[in-house]
Amino acid sequence: MQSKDKIVIFVHGYKGDQNELGFLKEVFENRGYQYLSFKYGKRNKKDEIVDLAEAEKEVARFINLATSNVNPQTITVVGYSLGAAVAVRLCAENKIQCNCLIVISVFDSRSDLLKERGISLSSDEDITPADLVKKFPASTKLFFIHGVDDKSVGINRSRRVFLAAKKSNPTMVICKAGHQFNTSQEKNELKLCIDYIIN
- pLDDT-based confidence at residue 199 (cuts at 50, 70, 90): confident
User: Does residue 1 fall inside a structural domain?
Assistant: no
User: Rounded mean pLDDT of 124-148?
Assistant: 94
How many domains are there within the chain? 1
Containing domain of residue 160, as a range? 6-198
Least confident window among 1-5, 147-151, 179-183: 1-5
Per residue in 13-53, pLDDT tens?
999 999 999 999 999 999 999 999 999 999 999 998 989 99
Do the Cβ atoms of 167 and 113 come closer than 8 Å? Answer: no
CATH of the domain at 81: 3.40.50.1820
* C-alpha to C-alpha distance for 89 and 95, rounded to whole angstroms: 8
User: Does residue 93 fall inside a structural domain?
Assistant: yes
Is the pLDDT reported for residue 3 higher than 60?
no
User: Rounded mean pLDDT of 175-193?
Assistant: 97
Q: Which helix (H) or strand (E) holds 92?
A: helix 82-92
Per residue in 139-164, pLDDT tens?
899 999 999 999 999 999 999 999 99
- How high is the pLDDT of residue 122? 85
- How high is the pLDDT of residue 1? 36
- pLDDT-based confidence at residue 5 (cuts at 50, 70, 90): confident
User: What is the average pLDDT value for the chain, to the nearest integer?
Assistant: 94
* C-alpha to C-alpha distance for 34 and 76, rounded to whole angstroms: 10
User: Does residue 118 fall inside a structural domain?
Assistant: yes
Is the pLDDT reported for residue 2 higher than 60?
no
Do the Cβ atoms of 26 and 59 come closer than 8 Å? Answer: no
Note if the pTM is more than 0.85.
Answer: yes
